[in-house]
Amino acid sequence: MGLSYVEENYLKAILKLSGVPDGLVSTNAIAAQLSTSAASVTDMLKKLSDKDLIAYQRYKGASLTNAGQRIATHLVRKHRLWEVFLVQTLGMTWDEVHDIAEQLEHIQSDSLIDRLDTFLEYPKFDPHGDPIPNAEGKYSVRAQVPLSKLTEGQQGIVIGVREDETAFLKHLSEKGLTPGKMIRMLTNDAYDHTIRLVVDDKELNLSGQVASNIMIKLK
């Protein structure tokens, strides 16, 4: 089934937003995710529904059909594999790769993606710590906790982030909080959740909001 880049982006957006209690993603949520108008979203949802890629209920929202789920998951797989390639092979930083991967994920060659996966030795997670679906659409899961949940004296390794906006990733890089770095919690303020920690023998202070978006594997 030939889909436009815009149609594919809608399916991926619905997949990203699909963890809602009733399984239906609202028109407004999709509009916010894609920075477009609710009217444009409604028009596109009707088109995707006609192609049996989503189940759409007017005034309620949309959910992916099995076919839509497969396409969206495959897009995520391609995006995250390209991010690994750009970081590991081309030496780009984790804050540089998202926008480029957004373009590369629309390449339609399945054989290219399979070869890319083999070349990269079947990575399970992308540079931001997000799981990479395999060819069957299955994800790996690993134990992780937000940095904000650590208590005094706990140690762990930075393994990813919840938000991968470029400005946020640059902010973390400037502080040395990149994947693979060992951290040790010094204090976690119970009132405003400001934390103090050690990374690379340097003390850092972080807001609770920043800390809640950094994922840690405990040691």
Last residue of a domain, one of 126, 141, 156: 141
pLDDT (0 to 100) of residue 205:
94
Alpha-carbon span 158 to 78, nearest angstrom: 24
Structural tokens at position 4? 């436009």
Give the closest residue to 72 by CA, choosing from 38, 25, 121, 119.
25
Q: Are 199 and 181 in contact (CB under 8 A)?
A: yes
69 found inside a domain: no
User: Would you state the pLDDT for residue 2?
Assistant: 82
User: Count of residues for the chain?
Assistant: 219
Q: Is residue 110 part of a domain?
A: yes
Say yes or no: 171 and 209 in one domain. Answer: yes
Q: Given 123, 141, 159, which residue is the final one in a domain?
A: 141
In tens digits, the chain (219 residues) has pLDDT values of: 689 999 999 999 999 998 755 578 999 999 999 999 999 999 999 999 999 999 999 888 999 999 999 999 999 999 999 999 999 999 999 999 999 999 999 999 999 999 999 999 999 999 999 999 999 999 998 999 999 999 999 999 999 999 888 999 999 999 999 999 999 999 998 888 899 999 998 999 999 999 999 999 998
52 within some domain: yes
Contact, 71 vs 65, CB < 8 A? no
Q: Distance (Å, rounded) from C-alpha 83 to C-alpha 69?
A: 21
What is the CATH classification number for the domain harbouring 173?
2.30.30.90
Q: State whether 26 and 47 are in the same domain.
A: yes
Report yes or no: 151 and 216 within 8 Å, Cβ to Cβ: no
Query: What is d(CA 87, CA 65) in angstroms, rounded to the nearest whole number?
Result: 33
Query: In angstroms, rounded to a whole number, what is the distance separating the alpha carbons of residues 28 and 96?
Result: 29
| CATH number, position 109 | 1.10.10.10
Q: What are phi and psi of 156, to 5 degrees?
A: -170, 175
Q: Does residue 57 share a domain with residue 42? A: yes
Supply the range of the domain harboring residue 48: 5-64
Structure tokens that stand for 123 in this block: 């990575």
Shared-domain flag, residues 149 and 84: no
Say if residues 61 and 26 touch (Cβ distance below 8 Å): yes
Mention every residue, 6+ apart, whose C-beta is less than 8 A from residue 143: 217, 218
Tell me, yes or no, whether 136 and 154 share the same domain. no
Structure tokens at 63: 């959910």
CA 155/CA 158 separation, integer angstroms: 10
For position 21, what pLDDT does the model report? 54
Q: What is the pLDDT, as a whole number, of residue 210?
A: 94
- Residue 96 in any domain: the answer is yes
22 and 79 both lie in a single domain: no
C-alpha distances in Å from residue 1, one per residue of 4, 7, 68: 10, 11, 11
In 3D, which of 105, 212, 98, 99 has the Cα closest to residue 161? 212
Is residue 194 domain-resident?
A: yes
Q: What is the pLDDT of residue 22?
A: 58
Question: What is the domain count for the chain?
Answer: 3
Domain boundary at 64, 85, 102, which? 64
Residues 152 and 134 in one domain: no
Dihedral of the alpha carbons of 94, 96, 99, 104, in degrees to the nearest 10: -80
151 and 211 together in one domain: yes
Query: Helix, strand or coil for residue 164?
Result: coil
